[in-house]
Amino acid sequence: MTEGQPTVDTERKPKKGLGRKKKEPAKAVGFFQLFRYATGCEVLLMIIGLLCAALHGIALPLMCVVFGQMTDSFVQSGQQLNLTGTYSGKGEHAYYFIGIGCAVFLLGTFQVMLFLLTATKQTKRIREKYFHAILHQQMSWFDTHQIGVLNVRLTDDINTINEGLGDKICVFVQFFCTFLSGFIIGFIFGWKLTLVILAVSPLLAGSAAVWSKILATLTSKELSAYAKAGAVAEEILVAIRTVVAFNGQKKAVERYERNLEEAKNFGIKKAITTNVSMGFTQFVIFGTYALAFWYGTKLSVDEPENYTIGKTITVFFSVMIGAFSLGQGAPNLEAIAKARGAAYEVYNTIDQPRPIDSSSKEGHKPDCVRGDIEFKNIHFSYPSRKDVKILQGVNLTVPRGKTIALVGASGCGKSTTIQLLQRFYDPDSGEITLDGRDIRTLNVKWLRENMGIVSQEPVLFGTTIAENIRYGREDATDEDIERAVREANAYDFISKLPDKLNTMVGERGAQLSGGQKQRIAIARALVKNPKILLLDEATSALDTQSESVVQAALDKARAGRTTIVIAHRLSTIRTADVIAGFSNGEVVEQGTHRELMAKKGVYYSLVMQQLEVGNEEGIENGGFEKNSISSGRVEMKPTRRKSKKSKKDKKVLLHR
């Protein structure tokens, strides 16, 4: 982990007691906010789909009207047959049924097709915007957000939004229109029976509204809990070699199960709420059936002139189908409620303000870069840990074309200084200038394009060597890549590979050695031909042989560039033009190797520690050899690598 970098505690639970914060209620976006990324054409298609759904919903109650008329026709024809012995029935009702069936087929097809089409396009747009927003957040945002949680939201939550944007809406509109048209037809053909059935409808509507609100809340909490569990699973799988090496499978499973427990509890609550609500809805609907059958029969007997058998059947089935459709439409509210809950965090991330945005076109873009860098009274603390001061008044000047090395104990702010120069963060006070301009006035993308960075742990992507190098500059040609490879001393080993630059490096570069990965990382930094080169402990994780090759590549890369080096092995920076010693977040000394050794300050102490504590690291791996101590001055020179030196020889060399 980079020094000074804040950590995120993913499993910290609030302590019980009076000081515990009250949990905030789950939030959801408004219904119409779900469609904020729909284009004008897509809105038009959805309106057409809603019209088709509405007509589709009206078709079923209309069929009840035809069915009632057909019933009266049967009764009249039966009476005529009994009186005259002849049957004069007509088959026009069959044509009505055929016409309604064809209309339902076309309307149903179009309503679903249009909504699924627009939902797919909107979901793609939301996914792209969400991923873009994540990639362009400033580093302080990532300090307080787990990558695994973001990954879960990118997949599961957006799929949930897709469900809510899809055909669930038009199906609900279809059932709602069936409900309305059924009761309208009921009032037209028999208002008394309709009123009796309608008296129960507010109970259905009220239960559906309460159910929808509770479901949205529980769904949002459940998704958040699953996102945490997914983050833990991703972390474990990424480090699977370490888990297996230490027999940590059981502990990993227990940790994952602890995170699933919360999600399980919310899932159980949601399932109970859903099933109880559905059961209550069905109970009310079937109770309404019983009431309608009893009262409809009574009206047919008491008012035969107003309630014929056909009219009674029309009213009964129209109102019953309308009431039942309300119950059928209610489950579709669940998908919409889930989508509203899932969309809250996704849309909130998209809307998150980004003061440092590499996609922004704002900021000055100078025609050329000279490479003069200056840190002026820089104070800084990480946004997630404001109480811990990392830098406290750093003043540092880096002339163009020169190499400056930053040294100091771990956590003193060396890597933070480089991150501020890259504008991963902005300082709390003070300013950093490039060629006399405050870097906050420069375009962020332009600034980073003119810097090459090589870190301690090279990050390679699971693609070819050429594509990994091309990440440094998108428009890099094959000639540019070959030039960068040669400058990074990587040409020899790449040329021996079967597919050369087209060789797949494996996940995180697993197919390559540490030294090979580091040289590819150097080539990636050099392919853009940057004026400024940042080396953050680029060789500290390498063995002796790999270090010598990589160090030679770095020495070649530094030529003619403004270079800032952070090194754990001090032998690699003794030739730097300036060495700056950090202590407690500020620069306490600057000078060349000889000057700082004479001062006997921070740098001198670090050198002596490597000599006295790290025998193998200090001597065998290219450390320092005490050459002479005179007049208060200690001169050090790099030793030759002597892998076969005896312990006695080393001891003599150390205390000579």
Indicate whether 295 belongs to any domain.
yes
Taking alpha carbons only, the member of 238, 267, 268, 263 closest to residue 252 is 238
End-to-end CA distance of the chain: 38
> What DSSP character marks residue 156?
I
Same-domain check for residues 141 and 37: yes
Q: Which of these, 621, 626, 631, 588, lies nearest to 607 by C-alpha position?
A: 626
**CA–CA distance, 285 with 63 (Å, rounded to integer):** 21
In a domain, 2, yes or no: no
- Of 542, 571, 590, the one marking the end of a domain is 590
Which pLDDT score, from 0 to 100, does residue 625 have?
Answer: 46
pLDDT reported for residue 114: 92
Split at pLDDT 50, 70, 90, the class of 79 is: low
Q: In which residue are the tokens 């915007």 written?
A: 129
Sorting pLDDT into bands at 50, 70 and 90, what band is 11?
Answer: very low
Q: Are 394 and 257 within one domain?
A: no
What is the mean predicted confidence (pLDDT) over 507-516? Answer: 75
Q: With respect to residue 394, please indicate whether it lies within any of the assigned structural domains.
A: yes
Same domain, 155 and 275: yes
SS3 assignment for 179-191: HHHHHHHHHHHCH
User: Bridge-partner residues for 446, per DSSP?
Assistant: none
- Specify whether 467 is located in the same domain as 571: yes
Residue 333 vs residues 302, 327, 443, 568: alpha-carbon distances, Å: 41, 11, 46, 60
CATH of the domain at 539: 3.40.50.300
Judgement on whether residues 186 and 307 belong to the same structural domain of the protein = yes
* Rounded Cα gap, residues 188 and 311, in angstroms: 10
* Statement: residue 48 has pLDDT above 90: yes
Q: Please, which residues bridge with residue 626 across strands? A: 636
pLDDT at residue 44, rounded to an integer:
93
For residue 471, name the pLDDT band (cuts at 50, 70, 90).
confident
Beta-bridge mates of residue 580? 406, 590
Q: Which two tokens stand for residue 347?
A: 């849309």
Q: Is residue 216 domain-resident? A: yes
Which candidate, 513, 502, 580, places its Cα nearest to that of 549?
A: 513
Phi, psi of 646 (to 5 degrees): -80, 160
In a domain, 162, yes or no: yes
Residue 245 is part of a domain; what is its CATH number?
1.20.1560.10
Task: Clarify whether residues 336 and 421 are in a common domain.
Answer: no
DSSP state of 581: E
In a domain, 627, yes or no: no
Nearest residue to 313 (alpha-carbon basis) of 172, 185, 497: 185
Q: How far apart are CA 275 and CA 280, in angstroms?
A: 8
| Residue 317 burial by Cβ neighbours in a 10 Å radius (0-12, 13-18, 19+) | buried
- Are residues 333 and 393 located together in one domain of the fold? no
| C-alpha–C-alpha distance, residues 527 and 474, integer Å | 10
Domain-terminating residue out of 534, 560, 590:
590
C-beta separation of 544 from 370 below 8 A? no
424-465 pLDDT per residue, tens: 888 888 888 988 888 888 888 888 888 888 887 777 887 888
Distance, CA of 418 to CA of 397 (rounded, Å): 13
Containing structural domain, residue 314 = 32-351
What is the model's pLDDT at position 535? 84
pLDDT at 25 over 60: no
When divided into structural domains, the chain yields a total of 2
One-letter amino acid at 48 equals I
Percent of the chain residues topping a pLDDT of 90: 4
**Domain match, 142 and 112 both:** yes
186 and 292 in one domain?
yes
Q: Are residues 69 and 175 in the same domain?
A: yes
**Measured between alpha carbons, how far is 2 from 117 in angstroms, rounded to an integer?**
46
Q: Is the dihedral of CA 78, 79, 80, 83 positive or negative?
A: positive
- Three-state SS string over 481-502 comes to HHHHHHHCCCHHHHHCCCCHHH
pLDDT value at 350 more than 70: yes
Residue 536: helix, strand or coil by DSSP? strand
Q: Tell me if 645 is assigned to some domain.
A: no
pLDDT at 45: 92
Question: Is residue 253 very low, low, confident or very high in pLDDT (cuts 50, 70, 90)?
Answer: confident
For the question of whether the overall pTM of this predicted structure is more than 0.75, the answer is no
Same domain, 38 and 139: yes
Q: Are 499 and 465 in contact (CB under 8 A)?
A: no
Tokens of 342: 């899932």
Indicate the Cα dihedral angle 593, 596, 597, 599, nearest 10°.
Answer: 160
For residue 377, is pLDDT > 70?
A: yes
Letter for the amino acid at 450? N
Question: How large a percentage of the chain has pLDDT more than 70?
Answer: 83
Higher-scoring residue by pLDDT: 175, 273: 175
Within 10 angstroms of residue 407's Cβ, the number of other Cβ atoms is 24
Q: Does residue 632 register a pLDDT over 60?
A: no
- Residue 316, φ and ψ in degrees, nearest 5: -60, -50
Residue 404 lies in a domain: yes
Last residue of a domain, one of 320, 351, 382: 351
Which range, 37-41, 365-369, 385-389, 477-481, is most confident? 37-41
DSSP assignment, residue 38? -
Beta bridge partners of 438: 433
pLDDT of 298 over the 70 cut? yes
Question: Do 308 and 430 share a domain, yes or no?
Answer: no
